[in-house]
Structure formats: C-alpha cells, structure tokens
C-alpha cells in the first residue's frame, strides 16, 4: 500500500504486496568524469513544465512562470553539497509549496518527476484515519479538500516498513474531480522495497507511461507496476502541484516531508534511459554518498 491510498479520504489501511528489491550500499565513490565520459548531455528542457532548482528562490525555472505560493513557513537551506539557500527544507509540520497552474502543465497518458531528497526521521502512525506523520514529497491534488488527485510520492503508511512509494490515480471513468480517489480500481500503488537511510541524499525518478508506473533510485530501476484498467491519470483544473506535501487535511495534521528536496522537475512525457542516467549522475547507484565533485546544473 502506497502513500497514495493513505492520503485519499475514508481509506482503511490494508496489507501491501511488494516486489522484492535489493539495493546494495557501499561507500565507494566513482569519479563523475570517468563514469560519464562520452555521455552526451540530453535535452532536459524537452517536455519540462515545472522546474525548481532552489537557487536562492522558490521560483519555477522551467520558463513557464507558474506562480509559487509559500505555505507553512517553508524555507531554503543548505543543499547536499553545502551551498546555502539551495534546497527546500521542511520540519514535517506543514511547510510546503503550492504551484498555481497558468495552463502550462497538464498530463494524461505520460509524465515523469525527478527529485533529490533527504529525510531526517521515519513517520509515525496514530491509528484510524489520522495519518499525521505520513511523509508526502510531491503531489498533484486539490489542496483545499484532497479531491482530484493525480499522483503523489513519498513514504508508505507510518505503521508499515518505511519504503519509498509512488501512487497514481487512474482515469477510467470511475473517479472524477469531486472524488478523493478512494475505490478507483485504476489507481496504481507502486510501493518499492527501498528504504532510504536517514540523513542521506538520493535521487528518485518516477515515470508513468500508459498505465505503467516505474521508480528509479539513483538511476537504478527498483520497481515497476502495470495496471491494465487505464492508460491515463486524472488531471483536474482545481488541482495544484505541491512540493513537500499533500493537501491541507484538518483531521490528519501534517502530511509533509521531514527533510529536504532539491532539483525538482516535472515532465509531461516519459524520460528515457539517457535522461534518467544524466539526472541521477550526482549519485552512486550502490552508495548513500553523493559524488565527490558536484556536477554543474543544466
């Protein structure tokens, strides 16, 4: 069960079914220029509809100029390389960003998200429908009532092993913009067996392609789930892109990341293998450490 099912209203936790994934971890660093020698820089602006590099501001740097609203005391902090005012920071008690849609972002059969993240703590669970402490990293949802969800990603339910998860809300006609997504058989809950180590930075890339959801951690594919009932996701005019959280649920308290986010990208297409490799190039596939030499942002 992914965090998507936890965030829909009136949903009772169930026992999840997982694909077994092993991510080996060492502390061996590989020189960036050696590993990526000969790798041409892909066109990372193709299909890029939202981009948050957090270089001194919260602004959308995709070129589409969507307005960003700072909520709950969200602030900038040091990034993984020690640069000040270069990462989104949250203590898990409400800080987040909501992004107004000026018409530049919309998805149906394909999209991708890429982000660098670090969490400081595991979530906790108080029982019932109170999911206070559940950590949502990114989402598209109607922030006023929790309806019209397109996707979210973050950690699984606090009473379960803390795995990274990616959930989508299918568009087979069962659900509409006035629903929170509960009971929609076209939902995909892609819960991995990957558990981030506290305080360590990772790159995560999540893709959706005609009903197939995939998760890459540090460039390595860790999970793929296909739902044959729908090739699309719900996308509603009332929904907003949220950085660092989910909707403002008065009964569940905070549904926010306790940690940091950086280099958040949202695409209206599926990223290919070369693009995934490039976006994860700062990270060791088999290590919790970032590469010794920071790579210039593109």
pLDDT, residue 23, reads 37
CA 245 to chain centre: 10
Which residue bears the tokens 């994934």?
Answer: 21
* Token couple for 32: 């960036």
From residue 139, alpha-carbon distances to 41, 147, 158 in Å are 28, 12, 18
State yes or no: pLDDT of 16 exceeds 60. no
* Token couple for 288: 């919790």
User: The whole model's pTM is what?
Assistant: 0.83
Q: What percent of the chain has pLDDT over 70?
A: 72
Q: Any bridge partners for residue 212, and if so which?
A: 209, 226
Residues 68, 102 contacting (CB under 8 angstroms)? no
pLDDT, one tens digit per residue, over 96-108 is 999 999 999 999 8
pLDDT band at 145 (very low <50, low <70, confident <90, very high): confident
pLDDT, residue 186, reads 63
Domains along the chain with CATH numbers: 3-279 (2.60.120.200)
What DSSP element (H or E) covers 6? Answer: helix 3-7
pLDDT, residue 267, reads 98
The burial of 72, by beta-carbon neighbours within 10 Å (0-12 exposed, 13-18 middle, 19 or more buried), is given as: middle
Q: What is the mean pLDDT of the chain?
A: 80
272/147: higher pLDDT: 272
pLDDT, residue 123, reads 65
Radius of gyration of the chain (CA): 18
């Amino acid at each position: 069960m992914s965090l998507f099912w936890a965030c829909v209203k009136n949903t009772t936790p169930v026992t999840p079914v997982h694909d077994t994934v092993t991510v080996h971890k060492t502390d061996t660093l590989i020189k960036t220029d050696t590993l990526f020698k000969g790798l041409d820089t892909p066109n990372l602006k193709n299909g890029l509809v939202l981009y948050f590099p957090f270089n001194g501001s919260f602004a959308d740097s995709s070129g589409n100029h969507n307005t960003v609203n700072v909520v709950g005391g969200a602030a900038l902090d040091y990034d993984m390389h020690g640069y000040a005012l270069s990462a989104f920071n949250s203590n898990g008690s409400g800080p987040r960003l909501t992004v107004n849609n000026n018409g530049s972002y919309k998805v149906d059969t394909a999209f991708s998200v890429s982000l660098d993240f670090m969490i400081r703590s595991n979530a906790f669970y108080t029982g019932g429908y109170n999911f206070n402490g559940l950590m949502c990293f990114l989402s598209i949802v109607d922030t006023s009532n929790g309806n019209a969800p397109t996707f979210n990603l973050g950690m699984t339910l606090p009473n379960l092993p803390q795995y990274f998860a990616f959930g989508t809300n299918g568009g087979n006609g069962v659900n509409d913009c006035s629903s929170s997504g509960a009971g929609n058989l076209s939902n995909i809950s892609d819960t991995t067996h990957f558990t981030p180590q506290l305080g360590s930075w990772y790159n995560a890339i999540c893709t959706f392609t005609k009903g197939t959801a995939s998760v890459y951690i540090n460039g390595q594919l860790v999970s793929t789930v296909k739902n044959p009932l729908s090739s699309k996701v719900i996308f509603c005019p009332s929904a907003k892109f949220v950085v660092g959280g989910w909707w403002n649920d008065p009964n569940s308290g905070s549904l926010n990341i306790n940690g940091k986010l950086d280099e958040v990208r949202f695409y209206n297409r599926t990223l290919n293998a070369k693009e995934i490799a490039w976006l994860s190039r700062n990270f060791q596939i088999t290590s919790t450490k970032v590469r010794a030499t920071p790579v210039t942002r593109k």
